[in-house]
Amino acid sequence: MNCTDFEVLLADALGDELSVADRPAFEAHLAECEKCRREYETALRTVTTMRALPGPARATVRREGNRLVIDDRPPHALRVPWWLRGGVFRYAASILIAFAAGYAVHAGLMMTEVGRPVDRLVQKDDGIEAPTSPNSLQRALVHTHVRNPARSDLAKCLIAMAKPTG
């Protein structure tokens, strides 16, 4: 094969259409002719560079009634799951809502356990508060302790329990 024959086959080689029959002669000429090899390599690099440009082979188009619609996002772009699209603020809001709901549930439970309207406390002469009925004494003590454990005074509570009410 000479350089003129090589030129004839060059387009086929670049277009991936070189026949099996022509391939050996083509490759043999590439091996022996520096000029043709350089020409082939630069042409192949050109085609490869053009092919490497990122982009979709075709976009996804859908019909909505009488209109054609292309999605605004590039078709080859990474699809972000719906739950990641809101960003950080959505996460922060979710966490806040979860905490608020937890607190509300917790507070609600405490109300049902302890805070059923606690019997009105009566101020005694010695400054110790005592509930109006013995049955509510325990509830009042627990209520006081839970609301403010640091300040609840067990000794006063015991005295109050020992004293007769009314």
Nearest distance, CB of residue 56 and other proteins, angstroms? 5
**Tokens encoding 112:** 């049902």
Nearer Cβ to other proteins, position 55 or 149? 55
Nearer Cβ to other proteins, position 64 or 125? 64
Count of residues binding other proteins (CB under 8 A)?
35
Strands 61-64 and 121-123 turn out to be: unpaired
Helix orientation angle between 3-14 and 23-32, rounded to the nearest 10 degrees:
120
Using CB under 8 A, pick the residue from 35, 63, 79, 85 that binds other proteins. Answer: 63
Q: Is 34 in the site for other proteins (CB under 8 A)?
A: no
Q: Is 154 in the site for other proteins (CB under 8 A)?
A: no
110 three-class SS: helix
Binding span for other proteins by CB under 8 A among 53-61, 100-108, 120-128, 131-139:
53-61
> Quick one: how far is CA 11 from the chain centroid?
50
> Quick one: how far is CA 162 from the chain centroid?
59
Nearest distance, CB of residue 38 and other proteins, angstroms? 11
Q: Is 61 in the site for other proteins (CB under 8 A)?
A: yes
Report the candidate in 93, 103, 138, 99 with the shortest Cα–Cα distance to residue 118.
138
**Tokens encoding 3:** 């350089």
Q: How far apart are CA 61 and CA 65, in angstroms?
A: 13
Q: Is 23 in the site for other proteins (CB under 8 A)?
A: no
- Rounded to whole angstroms, the maximal C-alpha distance in the chain is 125
Nearest distance, CB of residue 12 and other proteins, angstroms? 7
Nearer Cβ to other proteins, position 38 or 147? 38
What residue ranges bind other proteins (CB under 8 A)?
A: 7, 10-12, 14-15, 17, 42-43, 45-47, 49-51, 53-61, 63-64, 66-74
